[in-house]
């Protein structure tokens, strides 16, 4: 059974990049009939907040990416203690005491010698007596994971293909700070192993972490998950992003972006597949494969999001929007949807159809509109009454094109632009239409 997880730190709102990670993990789980977990990486107690955790859940919910289960790292410290004990007993974790200043100095010396800034493992040479002295001096240790330099690191990445790392080119990572707090690396491995996560899909900024974590899985005797690292998203122009709302769900909501548009765009950005205005998540699930993702960074342009959102609205069936537009029937939806850039605009058209409308018409059109009212009064009220009306008026008044249509549109809707009048007029109804033409 495929199990994926999305593991944000609840320290702020989600943005396009990590929403894409969530979406890809959700799609992978759905495509494989598996499970998708939300794991809150809240080991940083100072920066994690309950409000951020709630916002993450709400954002996923809005997008339709509801998790099948949830875990939080702050509930699991005892597991991490046990894992560290296991690693220490096996000689794969060790105590070190260097201060950040001492480590920085070491790095500078290495740099000046043209050497890579790797931890020199000085703490491995400490004797039992040295450790006792440190304790006596009340110097608390931090813990490092000891990489196995004799075990080359390799995996077949779901996006990047064959990946190789030489462990001796990596520093033994700090896994627990001197104040007892956990860094992300080891808890994540413990959780992925215990929760049976089969696929870890995340941004390529985690590639080096993955190399280290593969050795942690092995050291803990756990089978590693399959790994895939997505190329990063690059944003369009920052000012534009701000205006059109590329930052996250709250700005997308404010801009009237459909959640489906976010999913449709982010599911296909950076893949070999075209971005399409889907009317549900199913087509994205059915066409999903990690193998479609390329290694090149993909550009996220919020303008694409707006355009796609409008195209999705133009295609959504009434039942897909009915609960978000209570009281707005299928007839109105069908008449106005092709004109919408945001769902809320349907309400404006509903109000225009219901009336009253205030229209400003030109003096030279007043007689024409009275003629229109008289003509309409004589016509049968059929679904194609608009064609009948404009056909008759064309003949009797000699008007055509804009001069024929625009005064009618203005008088009937109060707007110079809008949905096809042939669909609107039957919805406005005979009495209201006559009153609007006469009153113009």
Which residues in the 385-424 window bind ligand GLU by CB under 6 A? none
Assess contact for 125 and 148: CB atoms under 8 A. Answer: no
Q: What minimum distance in Å lies between the beta carbon of 149 and ligand GLU? A: 24
CB of 279 to ligand GLU, least distance (A): 30
Site string for ligand GLU, 339-358 (x = CB under 6 A): --------------------
Binding characters for ligand GLU, 173-212, by CB under 6 A (x = yes): -----------x---x-------------x---x------
C-beta of 8 vs 419, nearer to ligand GLU? 8
Outline where 117-222 has alpha helix (H). 128-136, 185-194, 207-219
Nearer to ligand GLU, 189 or 244 (CB): 189
How crowded is residue 338: how many other Cβ atoms within 10 Å of its Cβ? Answer: 13
Rounded Cα distance between 379 and 387, Å, is 11
Query: Could you give the angle at which helices 421-428 and 430-439 cross, rounded to 10 degrees?
Result: 100
Nearer CB in complex with ligand GLU: 201/278: 201
Which candidate, 396, 407, 397, places its Cα nearest to that of 436? 407
CB of 174 to ligand GLU, least distance (A): 16
> Six-digit token pair at 385?
């009454």
CB closer to ligand GLU, 41 vs 172: 41
**Of 9, 21, 440, 6, nearest in space to 230 by CA:** 21
DSSP conformation letters of 161-177: EEEEE-GGGSPPPEEE-
Closest approach, Cβ 303 to ligand GLU, in A, equals 27
To ligand GLU, the closest distance from the beta carbon of 190 in angstroms equals 12
**Cα–Cα distance, 247 to 98 (Å, whole number):** 39
Stretch that binds ligand GLU, among 2-10, 135-143, 292-300, 302-310 (CB under 6 A): 2-10
Residue with the two structure tokens 């008026």: 393
Give yes or no for a contact between 297 and 234, defined as CB atoms under 8 angstroms apart.
yes
CB under 8 A, 24+ apart: contacts of 124-132: 124/94, 126/95, 126/97, 131/95
DSSP state of 53: H
Size of the site for ligand GLU (CB under 6 A): 8
Query: Residues 376, 379, 383, 385: what is their CA dihedral angle, to the nearest 10 degrees?
Result: -50
State in angstroms the smallest separation of the CB of 10 from ligand GLU.
10
C-beta of 15: minimal distance to ligand GLU in Å? 11
- The footprint of ligand GLU on residues 17-76 (CB under 6 A) is 41
Residue nearest to ligand GLU (CB): 41
Any contact of residue 7 with ligand GLU (CB under 6 A)?
yes
Which listed range, 3-11, 49-57, 144-152, 289-297, lies at the site for ligand GLU (CB under 6 A)?
3-11
> Which two structure tokens, joined as six digits, stand for 421?
């009048």
Kindly tell me which residue out of 3, 4, 8, 328 binds ligand GLU, with binding defined by CB under 6 A. 8
Residues forming the site for ligand GLU (CB under 6 A):
7-9, 41, 184, 188, 202, 206
């Amino acid at each position: 059974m495929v199990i994926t997880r999305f593991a944000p730190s609840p320290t702020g709102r989600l943005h396009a990049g990590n929403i894409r990670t969530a979406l890809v993990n959700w799609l992978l789980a759905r495509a494989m009939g598996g499970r998708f977990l939300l794991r809150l990486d809240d080991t940083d107690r100072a920066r994690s907040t309950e409000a951020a955790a709630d916002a993450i859940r709400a954002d996923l919910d809005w997008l339709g990416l509801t998790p099948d289960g949830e875990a939080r790292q702050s509930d699991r410290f005892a597991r991490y203690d046990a894992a560290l004990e296991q690693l220490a007993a096996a000689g794969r974790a060790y105590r070190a005491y260097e201060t950040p200043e001492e480590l920085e100095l070491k790095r500078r010396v290495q740099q000046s010698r043209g050497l890579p800034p790797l931890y020199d493992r000085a703490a491995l040479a400490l004797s039992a007596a040295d450790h006792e002295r440190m304790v006596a001096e009340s110097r608390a240790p931090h813990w490092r994971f000891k990489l196995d330099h004799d075990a080359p690191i390799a995996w077949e990445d779901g996006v990047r293909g064959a990946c190789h790392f030489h462990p001796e080119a990596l520093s033994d990572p700090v896994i627990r700070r001197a104040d007892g707090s956990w860094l992300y690396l080891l808890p994540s491995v413990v959780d992925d192993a215990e929760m049976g996560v089969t696929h870890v899909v995340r941004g390529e900024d985690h590639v080096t972490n993955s190399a280290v974590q593969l050795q942690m899985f092995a050291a803990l005797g756990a089978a590693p998950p399959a790994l895939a690292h997505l190329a990063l998203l690059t944003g369009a122009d920052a000012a534009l992003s701000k205006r059109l709302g590329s930052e996250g769900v709250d700005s997308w909501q404010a801009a009237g972006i459909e959640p489906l548009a976010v999913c449709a765009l982010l599911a296909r950005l950076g893949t070999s597949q075209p971005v399409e205005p889907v009317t549900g998540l199913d087509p994205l699930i059915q066409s999903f494969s990690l193998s479609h993702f390329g290694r090149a960074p993909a550009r996220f342009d919020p303008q694409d999001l707006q355009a796609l959102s409008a195209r999705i609205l133009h295609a959504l069936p009434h039942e897909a929007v009915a609960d978000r537009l209570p009281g707005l029937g299928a007839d109105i939806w069908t008449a106005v949807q092709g004109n919408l850039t945001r769902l809320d605009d349907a309400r404006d058209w509903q109000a225009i159809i219901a009336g009253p409308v205030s229209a400003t018409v030109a003096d030279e059109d007043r007689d024409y509109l009275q003629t229109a009212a008289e003509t309409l009064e004589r016509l049968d009220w059929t679904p194609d009454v608009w064609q009948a009306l404009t056909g008759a008026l064309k003949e009797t008044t000699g008007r055509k094109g804009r001069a024929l249509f625009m005064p009618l549109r203005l008088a009937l809707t109060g707007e110079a632009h809008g949905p096809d009048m042939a669909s609107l007029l039957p919805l406005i109804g005979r009495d209201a239409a006559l009153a609007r033409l006469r009153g113009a």
